[in-house]
Amino acid sequence: MTEIAHPDSILIIDFGSQVTQLIARRVREAGVYCEIHPFNNAEEAFARMGPKGVIFSGGPASVTAEGSPRAPQAVFDSGIPLLGICYGQQTMCTQLGGTVEGGHAAEFGRADVEIKAASPLFEGLWEVGGRYPVWMSHGDRVTQLPHGFEVIATSENAPFAIAADESRRYYTTMFHPEVVHTPDGAKLLSNFVHKIVGLKSDWTMAAYRAEMIRKIRDEVGNGRVLCALSGGVDSSVAAVLIHEAIGDQLTCVFVDHGMMRLNEADEVIKMFRDHYNIPLVHVDASDLFLTELAGEVDPEVKRKIIGRLFIEVFEAEAAKIASDGKGAPAFLAQGTLYPDVIESVSFSGGPSVTIKSHHNVGGLPARMNMKLVEPLRELFKDEVRVLGRELGLPERFVGRHPFPGPGLAIRCPGGVTREKLDILRKADAVYLDEIRKAGLYDVIWQAFAVLLPVQTVGVMGDHRTYDFVCALRAVTSVDGMTADFYPYDMNFLGRTATRIINEVRGINRVVYDVTSKPPGTIEWE
């Protein structure tokens, strides 16, 4: 699994909140390593990790309901600092002898907390007597604190907005410090891990790179590794890191399904072969993929077709490599990220069998009998970009917007044809070119064009046309969990639409999608 032991860490126990990953993001941003584990396997994770502190997340359940989630008793017996957030506050108080009740006024959205007493939790941030904005999301409330707890802050509908037992270093908040709508929330979490738990900011990509290289060498030894290279940032960073560790023991297999962005396949080949001199097998399987996809309009079926063919083509190439006289590869490298790992063990029933079914297009068939090497499985997407820069990958490549494994097939609703893909590639290239010229590429999390399965009548000059509609999408996000549309000005949209209509034959209308991506949704393609 290519994991690293982290002696100074934080365990986050997940009770099902849709923003639990944000807690981990804030802790990582504070320079401290952390892991998320669901409450129903938290005891095992706690024993294995030996964390220096624990954070209880929020969650959708009611503490008052029979069988609702609880934290393991071992956490309370350990004597280490604890922080409970929302549901985490409620279960902590319940398990320690307090009382939680429903039926009171709920709080959803913005609220103000009034500070009643000083605490190291907000030292240097908030003052006694002050009122500060936070983000609430609760129905039940604590009505009686456990022995030893004191009220630190209140809000209009949360008499125990912050409550703590300073002697045991137990802290609780009814609000969510992890979300951006709590302006000082990240600093509050930083105070917890630094001032209360006492950890240093030693979670760095330089240290991770050095330790992971050592780990890969120990794990692989003299064995050969195959990397399923998709051409995206994740698998590319993984490949460069592994190559730095074991050199030509790594062979990358780039299955080109013919649905990448304009010139992207050529860029990947040039970078890996010419710049990094990494052994690379390029398989142009575009005809095969397009033949199998012909006439298919269901997006999920298209994904499954692409995933199946990717595995079949990859297996065929792996068999060829295994017969080259240098010994069969014993390891398969993948660009699995930490959010994929979290989803795979989610107590809420995450799709563990299809990790990365969206970003990558194929998993590891058991029949291949290869061990996984996943050097990025502890990292979030933005941390992968930092590692890529640490490894010296070009900024234009490292900062590239996320691109799904099935590629343009899912940005071409309806049937996929070579003609439609060519039209979409050109429109997408014009769109991204305008974004770069406007200096917006790094401001936007993800931008792309979609060729809608709609044709409209238009007049261009003295001629009537019957061509496709192109939709443009651009969203801002920090972590990809939530996203909002980017508010382009009309001059930009007008200029971009004019270029696409003038330069891309087959499109006579351009629209802009202003849909947001709320918490809890999987994707927006």
Amino acid at 7: P
The rounded distance, in Å, linking the Cα atoms of 503 and 192 is 55
d(CA 232, CA 229): 8
Distance between CA atoms of 33 and 40, rounded to whole angstroms? 21
Q: How far is CA 340 from CA 226, 335, 377, 425, 508, in A?
A: 20, 10, 8, 28, 39
**Which one of the listed residues 35, 107, 178, 264 is annotated catalytic?**
178
Please name which of 60, 51, 331 lies closest in space to residue 192, comparing C-alpha atoms: 51
Structural tokens at position 160:
């125990």
176 given a catalytic annotation: yes
86 an active-site residue?
Answer: yes
DSSP alpha helix (H) spans, 329-394: 338-344, 381-390
How big is the CA angle at 181 (ends 400 and 342), to the nearest 5 degrees? 55
CA distance to 118, 418, 471, per residue, from 175 (Å): 18, 51, 38
Considering 6, 138, 176, 257, which one is annotated as catalytic?
A: 176
Rg (alpha carbons) of the chain, rounded to whole number: 25
Question: What CA–CA distances, in Å, run from 19 to 15, 71, 137, 481, 502?
Answer: 11, 18, 11, 8, 43
Catalytic annotation present for 252: no
- Measured from the Cβ of residue 484, the count of other Cβ atoms closer than 10 Å reads 15
How would you label 439-463 residue by residue, b for 16+ Cβ within 10 Å and e otherwise? eebeebbbbbbbbbeeeeeeeeeee
Helix (H, G, I), strand (E, B) or coil at 226: strand
| DSSP H or E stretch at residue 44 | helix 42-49
Element housing 22 (H / E): helix 20-29
Which residue, among 98, 69, 89, has the nearest Cα to 136 in the 3D structure? 89
Residue of 34, 86, 227, 412 marked active site: 86
- Which tokens in the block code for residue 98? 């307090």
Could you tell me where the beta strands, DSSP code E, fall in 168-318? Answer: 170-173, 225-229, 250-256, 280-284
HSE-CB for 16 with a 13 A CA cutoff: 15
B/e letters for 490-514, b = 16+ CB within 10 Å, e = fewer, are eebeeebbebbbeebebbbbbebee
Q: Measuring CA to CA, how many Å separate 124 from each of 134, 246, 295, 336?
A: 17, 47, 62, 38
DSSP assignment string, 273-286: IIIS---EEEEE-H
Active site members: 86, 176, 178
